[in-house]
Structure 1
Amino acid sequence: MPDFPIIDTHLHIWDMDRLKYSAFEGHPLFGKSYQIEDYQRDCGDVEVEAMVFVECFADFTETGGQYIDEIKFVEDSARRDPRIKGIVPMAPLEWGSRVLPMLSEMNANHSSVKGIRRIMEFDDDPRGLTLSPDFIEGVNLLHEFGWHFEINVNFTQMDIIREFVQHIPNVPMILDHCGKPGIREGALAQFRDDIRDLATHPNMWIKLSDLPPYADPANWTDKDLRPYIDATIETFGFGRTIYAGDWPICLQATSLPRWVETLDNALVGASEKELRAFYRDNANTFYRLGL
């Protein structure tokens, strides 16, 4: 384990009695509430200085959603654990300029908001959504608030993202979970090519998180993940790569302590400065946590 407290930039918590999450209903692992106290228990020996909450795909429609309600739930959780220093909610950026009043409300009333995630991966038409003029306009509006955009797709959709980022010159962006690479499919060459292209954009960062589910969730080994970890560090360097746990989604394949141990093994030989950048300092900078 790192010999200093780390920052976890991808915490999920949800309350099924307070909000509606149809995507999780009936799921054997995720079909129940996960509260901040559950996270505290599952950290084990991992010492966490601060966390950033990332939205949990709470139900929404073409005309509205639980966007502000989810922020308020997380704010209540942060009163029980003040280590929650940042919130990345969902917002309907596909509304284009019509989303501006909602973003302005978030900015005015919820100071912990650091950026926005609008998942493209599960949309009926990921390409049509991501490359639509209104969506691109909505993402570019984040620049007005000093916020970033969080990208969530899988490896079969990375061609969309390679085109999308060309339209977002000024908003910082981060690729969640390394773009969910095709580890099980052996798509290492594609992964290297995709992230090499993304890394040419100076406003693009990458989140090294939750790779085990994309290998064999039940039988993955460090050896399965190592080429993807190595490629990430080689391409983005320790300057633009950020640690995250993705709890409780990670529980389908690993625990938080085992994930950190896997990264520790892969990063043997890194300097103290590089490790601190990866596990803590980059997160503090990118998410503007002021720690």
Structure 2
Amino acid sequence: MIDTHVHFWNFDPVRDNWISDDMKIIRKDFSPENLTDPYNQLHITGCIAVQASQSEDENHFLLKLAAQNEIIKGIVGWVDLLNPNLDERLNYWQNHKIIKGWRHVLQAENRDFMLNPAFIAGVKQLKKYNYTYDLLCYHNQLEAIIQMVDQIPNQPFVLDHCGKPDVKSQDLKTWTENIKTLAANPNVQCKVSGLLAEADWQNWTEKELFNCFDVIFEAFGPERVMYGSDWPVMLISRPYEDWFNLVTKYTARFSEAERKLIFTDNAKAFYGV
């Protein structure tokens, strides 16, 4: 089994200022060694390390970790897609085959950034190098995401954290409509990950999360959904095992072959691991 979404960092209060005081449980260092016990217990054999900092230094940091830890099967790094010399940078990173794709923290950007022709041109260059692209956004940004991906045919995309629905309020109507529209694009897949951070951290209910799962699995089907944890961010709510067991419980309704897609095969095919 592959966990398609984990982060590692050496905590820096300035760089990592998005980790607020009420998230103090994750205001510290996290390394692959911290995943050894839960992964062994749950028979998870590998992960995709996703950028948490927006610099090319982050790529070198993750590459060093991957060289020391076989559990890292692929990296989603960061590169400046607005860089006039982007092609040169992508050609450079081609030397490191474990880098499978790229991500920018679009949730911190506005609509104009996502639909900037220069940014879209940057994403279009990824296909030349067979790179994937992770889409990180909030539910109220999905309309711009839809317009963006529709302009970039044949590029493999994956939506992180189900597009961050408002789990807490359960106001899911517009999010549901946009998820259906996005899923109509065959180039887009979805990670069932990250929902604990969008819920009431201590008081969420299984039903609230399963309501979101219902929408995702109906829209994308098990053929285009992959398991991810968003560790260690999800620790602000529950231990790793709780999230894994929740997804396992929900997916028990699917066939063994479909569960293998969700927990293993979709990730292998998408990220080429």
TM-score class, shorter-chain normalisation, is over 0.9
Q: Residue 140 of structure 2 contacts residue 175 of structure 2 at CA under 8 Å; is this kept in 1?
A: no
TM-score (norm. length: structure 2): 0.93
Question: Partner residue of 2:3?
Answer: 8
Give the Cα–Cα distance (whole angstroms) in 1 for the partners of residues 136 and 44 of structure 2: 24
Partner of 1:62: none
Separation in 1 of the partners of 2:237 and 2:74?
26
1:54 to 43, 50, 53: 50
Task: Give yes or no for contact 1:43–1:256 (8 Å, CA) kept in 2.
Answer: no
CA deviations 1:120-161 (Å, max 9, x no partner) are: 1113xx211100011000000001100111100011111111
Work out which of the residue numbers 17, 40, 61 in structure 2 matches 1:73. 61
Aligned residues of 1:175 and 1:206 also touching (Cα < 8 A): yes
Letter in 2 for 1:271: S
Query: Quick check: 1:100–1:141 contact (8 Å CA) kept in 2?
Result: yes
The Cα offsets for residues 15-59 of structure 1, whole Å up to 9 and x where unpaired, read as 247x9434348662333211111122444622211111100024x
- What's the TM-score once normalised by structure 1's chain length? 0.88
Residue segments in structure 1 that go unaligned for 5+ positions in a row: 1-5, 59-65
Amino acid at match of 2:104: R
C-alpha separation between the residues in 1 aligned to 2:262 and 2:193?
12
What's the counterpart of residue 101 of structure 1?
88
Note the 1:1-291 alignment, pairs <5 A.
Answer: 6-16=1-11, 20-24=15-19, 28-43=24-39, 45-58=41-54, 66-67=55-56, 69-95=57-83, 97-108=84-95, 110-123=96-109, 126-289=110-273
Query: Counterparts of 2:16 and 2:176 in 1: how far apart (Å)?
Result: 34
Structure 1 stretches of at least 4 aligned residues deviating more than 3 Å after TM superposition: 19-27, 41-44
Provide the rounded CA distance (Å) in 1 between the counterparts of 2:157 and 2:145. Answer: 11
CA–CA distance in structure 1, aligned partners of residues 39 and 236 of structure 2: 15
| CA shift in 2, pair 1:112/1:235, >3 Å | same
Moved more, 247-256 or 21-30: 21-30
Percent identity, aligned pairs only, is 30
**1-structure distance, mates of 2:44, 2:251:** 19
For the Cα contact (< 8 Å) 1:23–1:57, is it kept in 2?
no
Which structure has more helix as a fraction of its residues?
2
> 1:194 corresponds to which letter in structure 2?
N
- Measured after TM superposition, the shift of residue 252 of structure 1 is 1.1
Per-residue Cα deviation, 1:36-91 (whole angstroms, up to 9, x for no partner): 11122444622211111100024xxxxxxx31x22222222223321211011011
Q: Note the residue ranges of structure 2 that are not aligned, 5 or more in a row.
A: none
- Cα 1:107–1:25 change in 2 (3 A) is farther
Conservation of the 8 A alpha-carbon contact between 1:192 and 1:231 = yes
The secondary structure found in structure 2 opposite 1:251 is helix
2: distance between equivalents of 1:241 and 1:22? 31
Work out whether residues 10 and 51 of structure 1, in 8 Å CA contact, stay in contact via their aligned partners in 2.
Answer: yes
Structure 1 residues 214 and 44: alpha-carbon distance in aligned structure 2, compared to 1, 3 A threshold? farther
